[in-house]
């Protein structure tokens, strides 16, 4: 990935299937494609086609960061959601469309407006908590909040947000590793990191 823009994703998108096939040849048990915006930026239908192709060509359980956040939101009962992101307007628009086509009502969306590939890592946990709070306030009646971008440092933000606002938090990074653990046969349970990771029910691999 060269930048957090549609143009910046192109080279990485074209490398996904070859990289997955190489991993399959190495004998891995499952594959997780990391990169939320990378996997939703072409739209809902293109994402579904990518999943189908990856599963067909590798013969393995496969998921993406975009599918993981969808699964995570569903697992905590999220339907009407607030969204906080690292992204600028064009990528935010594409994310909102992807989420709506995945069955969610996007009540409010706030972004940091970043386009540089490494920039999300410069945001502090407090920055992320504050932006999420702004989105939740704008949504008014959200039943979950999504924090989208695997580059944001979100490991410590779920519990403070959940205590303050009373709704579950799903983040790209936590959702991806939770989903990857489940693809490999684990429950995905991690204590002390928010409601989604605190769940322990295993699910069938895709």
Q: pLDDT band for position 202 (50/70/90)?
A: very low
3-52 pLDDT, tens per residue?
899 999 999 999 999 999 999 999 999 999 999 999 999 999 999 999 99
Region 163-188 average pLDDT: 91
Domains of the chain: 6-67+176-198 (no CATH), 77-171 (3.40.50.12500)
CA dist list (Å): 39 to 66, 76, 165, 189: 6, 22, 29, 25
pLDDT number for residue 188 = 75
Region 83-106 average pLDDT: 98
Q: pLDDT band for position 201 (50/70/90)?
A: low
pTM: 0.92
């Amino acid at each position: 990935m060269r930048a957090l823009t549609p143009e910046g994703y192109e080279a990485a998108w074209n490398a996904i299937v070859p990289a997955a096939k190489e991993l399959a040849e190495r004998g891995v048990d499952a594959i997780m494609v990391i990169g939320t915006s990378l996997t939703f930026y072409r739209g809902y239908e293109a994402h579904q086609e990518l999943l189908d192709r990856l599963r067909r060509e590798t013969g393995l359980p496969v998921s993406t960061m975009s599918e993981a956040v969808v699964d995570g939101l569903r697992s905590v009962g999220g339907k009407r959601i607030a969204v906080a992101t690292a992204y600028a307007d064009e990528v935010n628009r594409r994310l909102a469309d992807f989420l709506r086509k995945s069955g969610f009502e996007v009540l409010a969306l706030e972004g940091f407006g970043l386009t540089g590939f490494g920039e999300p890592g410069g945001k502090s946990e407090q920055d992320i908590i504050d932006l999420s709070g702004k989105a939740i306030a704008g949504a008014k009646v959200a039943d979950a909040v999504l924090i989208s971008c695997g580059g944001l440092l979100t490991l410590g933000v779920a519990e403070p947000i959940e205590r303050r606002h009373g709704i579950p938090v799903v983040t790209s990074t936590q959702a991806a590793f939770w989903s990857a653990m489940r693809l490999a046969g684990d429950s995905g349970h991690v204590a002390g990191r928010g409601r989604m990771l605190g769940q322990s029910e295993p699910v069938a691999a895709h």
